[in-house]
Amino acid sequence: MDQLVDILVPIACGCILPIVIIFLSVRQKMNETNKRTEIVLAAIEKNPEMDIEEIMKKISRKPKLLKEKLLTKLLWGCLTTLLGIGLIGFGIYLGANHLGGTDDPMTAICFGLISLGVGIAFLVNYFMGKKMLAKEMEAEEKRLTAQE
């Protein structure tokens, strides 16, 4: 029975879980699109002379600004870096106190190193993007202030 669980858990985590996540995200996007379509159809039924483009602009999602995208990368970079440092520290603690056998400290350290690497990549992406997109962000802010 333990061998069956040892086989099924990685299969569930590696195959079934990603499929379920993708299915749920696609279903959410389809529901949003269907709701927008229903709103537009209801508006057209009530007033056929209404400007459809204006309605679509009002109900569609606003695209994220460059600054918001960069701040999201900074957030994720900080979170994953801190998670990686925490996991590495936890692995060192387990190894120093001889807790969890020989595999648990190394597993925690490996996941910590992976998380630390991803976090550093996000942070590098944030700082390089901030440097490279400075002019575009200024132009975007000027355009937004001009619209208001």
Of the pLDDT bands very low, low, confident and very high (cuts 50, 70, 90), residue 147 is confident
Question: d(Cα 108, Cα 91) in Å, to the nearest integer?
Answer: 5
Radius of gyration (Cα) for the chain, nearest Å? 24
Q: Which tokens is 12 given?
A: 């569930």
Predicted confidence at residue 148, as pLDDT, reads 65
* Rounded-to-integer distance, Cα 19 and Cα 12, Å: 10
The whole-angstrom separation of Cα 111 and Cα 105 is 10
Q: What's residue 84's pLDDT?
A: 96
How do residues 111-122 score in pLDDT, each as one tens digit? 999 999 999 999
Q: How many CB atoms lie within 10 A of CB 103?
A: 8
Portion of the chain with pLDDT greater than 70, in percent: 99
Query: What are the pLDDT digits (tens) for 65-113?
Result: 888 899 999 999 999 999 999 999 999 998 888 877 777 788 889 999 9
- What is the Cα–Cα distance from 100 to 91, expressed in whole angstroms? 10
The torsion angles phi and psi of 21, rounded to 5 degrees, stand at: -65, -45
Q: Please classify residue 62 by burial: count the beta carbons closer than 10 Å to its beta carbon, then call 0-12 exposed, 13-18 middle and 19+ buried.
A: exposed
